[in-house]
Each structure stands twice: as structure tokens, then as C-alpha cells.
Amino acid sequence: MAASPPQCPWVILRRVFCIVPEPKDAEAENRRNVFISLRAPPRVTIFGVAPSVHPWGAHAISSDTFPYLVATAPSALLLCFSEGPIPIDTSDLILARHFVASAEPSRHPTTGSAGRVPRRRTVGPSSIPATYNIKSVGLTCGLSDGAYVIAELQVTKRSDHAKLHCIGSGDDRWVQKDLVSPLSTEERYWFSNGVVDHDKKLWWFDLSWGLLCCDPNADHPVLSFHRLPQGRSLAQADPFLLGIRCIGVSDHSLRYVEMARDRPT
């Protein structure tokens, strides 16, 4: 029995996907429309999607259309299409899963299948598709093997409650969970710079302030706030921080990283 190819413990993911030709095989066209060329670091792992993955159909693909990686989980990827390389929001989310590794990864990519996530709609008599804030949407594992949960957190200044919008595998609609906000007495706005999946929770982070976390699988999630390390909080959000600070998971731990600037001697 041939030995399976060695697995890289981690990869560097490129946020912007490539658009690749449709598979010629009819069955592959329906089921295998995501392609991942795994590369060992420091090389970058490249993703490709077939035009049929676009929620409006292949005819909607143009030269300024970018497939963008929104979030990752151990067995799934969440993406969207945008008119520009770095989207702010989107009306459609696409989930890629059911990945199959190639026996010859150097010659053939890992493949997966992608499907459209049911749209969330606004509440009210004139219900319309909701727009998702890309930096507030996270993806985590569900309670059963292979299950997933997609969640978007909405925090309002001086409000006693935050809103958690969720949809899980097998669901055909989003549900809203009202959470007690730990920031209700704070006189500042929350600006989410991203979401991290760690320790069965989703962690939303504001790089100028701290992190909010909860377990979206819980029937009644508890939202908690964690400040940045001492001396790193700022009075207000600053886009400049995106270039010098980040929060992510490394070696099974949640880590805050900041690049130090040179100081004159």
C-alpha cells in the first residue's frame, strides 16, 4: 500500500482567488469547482474557482471580478465575489467544502465543491437581502462531524444588546440571537477588523481596542470582551493599524502580533 503524501501543518493562504476554466467532465462541473494548489511555506497556496461558482452565473464574471476568501475552518472555506481586490461588504456568500486531496499534489490540485449560502433578509414588511460586513463574518465548526456555522456579529454603540446572525449546515435560513453586550457603557464605536476561529469560539477583533468572543453553537451565547495587552489600546480606530498589527492562531494559541517601529537613538 502506497504511503500517503506528507501533509503540510500550515499554509499561507492567498485572499484573492483565481478564476480557472470550467471542468470538461459534466460530473466534475457540478461537484468539483474549487481547486487548491497546496504549497509549503514560504510559498503561497493558490486557490482557483470555476466561473459557475459565481452566484449570478458565469456570465457575471468580468475582468474586475475577484473571488475573495472571507473565512476559513478546518473543513470549509467561505468566499465571495467583489468588484475589487479587497471587498468591504457583499450580498452573497459561497461555501466551499468536500475537499479531496490529490495523490500527486505536485501535479494535480486538491479539489472541492462550492455552493451558495442562503441569503439573509432584513426584517420588516419590505424584506430585502441583507448586506454582510466582510470583516464581521466568521466561520467555525458545528457540533457534529463535518458541520459548520457561519456567523456575523453586529455591535451598536451604547446598546445593551448585540446581534449575532447565524446559519449552520442543513439550515435554509439565518437566525438572529440577541446577546448581552459587554460594551454598552463604552463611549466609542466598535470597528471589526476581522474574525478568528479558535477554541470552539469565534473571536471578532478591533485592532485598536480588543476582542469580542462567543460560541455561536450555543443556544444562548455569552459575549465577552478582552482588551488588547496593556498599553496597546488606542482612543479610536486607525486604518494604519492594519499594516502593523494582526491577531491570529499560531501553534494552537490565539496571538496578538505588532511590528515595532524603529526609534531614533
137 in any annotated domain: yes
Do 174 and 246 reside in the same domain of the chain? yes
User: For residue range 78-120, what is the model confidence (pLDDT) as tens digits?
Assistant: 999 887 777 899 989 999 999 888 888 777 888 999 999 999 9
Do 20 and 146 reside in the same domain of the chain? no
Do 172 and 229 reside in the same domain of the chain? yes
245 in any annotated domain: yes
Do 54 and 167 reside in the same domain of the chain? no
Do 107 and 172 reside in the same domain of the chain? no
The pLDDT value given to residue 154: 97
The pLDDT value given to residue 67: 87
Instruction: List Cβ neighbours of 226 (8 Å cut-off, separation of 6 or more).
Output: 210, 211, 212, 213
Q: Of 83, 117, 151, which closes a domain? A: 117
Residue percentage of the chain with pLDDT more than 90: 53
163 in any annotated domain: yes
Do 136 and 258 reside in the same domain of the chain? yes
- Which residue range is the domain that position 162 belongs to? 131-265
Q: Of 89, 117, 145, which closes a domain? A: 117
Do 257 and 144 reside in the same domain of the chain? yes
- Dihedral Cα 205, 72, 44, 2, nearest 10 deg: 150
pLDDT of 27 higher than 70: no
123 in any annotated domain: no
User: For residue range 159-179, what is the model confidence (pLDDT) as tens digits?
Assistant: 999 999 999 998 999 999 999
The pLDDT value given to residue 212: 99
Question: What residues does 67 pair with on adjacent strands?
Answer: 81
Do 105 and 20 reside in the same domain of the chain? yes
196 in any annotated domain: yes
Compute the distance between CA of residue 211 and CA of residue 105 in angstroms, rounded to an integer: 37
Do 3 and 105 reside in the same domain of the chain? yes
User: For residue range 205-240, what is the model confidence (pLDDT) as tens digits?
Assistant: 999 999 999 999 999 999 999 999 999 999 999 989
126 in any annotated domain: no
Q: Where are the alpha helices (DSSP H) in 15-131?
A: 26-31
The pLDDT value given to residue 23: 66
Q: Of 72, 95, 117, which closes a domain? A: 117
* Total structural domains within the chain: 2
Do 89 and 14 reside in the same domain of the chain? yes
11 in any annotated domain: yes
Residue percentage of the chain with pLDDT more than 70: 89
| DSSP assignment letter at 32 | -
pLDDT of 128 higher than 80: no
User: For residue range 35-79, what is the model confidence (pLDDT) as tens digits?
Assistant: 988 888 889 998 889 888 888 777 777 766 788 999 998 889 999
125 in any annotated domain: no
- Dihedral Cα 106, 19, 41, 207, nearest 10 deg: -160
| DSSP assignment letter at 189 | -
Do 44 and 158 reside in the same domain of the chain? no
The pLDDT value given to residue 4: 46
pLDDT of 124 higher than 70: no
The pLDDT value given to residue 29: 44
Do 108 and 145 reside in the same domain of the chain? no
Compute the distance between CA of residue 193 and CA of residue 31 in angstroms, rounded to an integer: 33
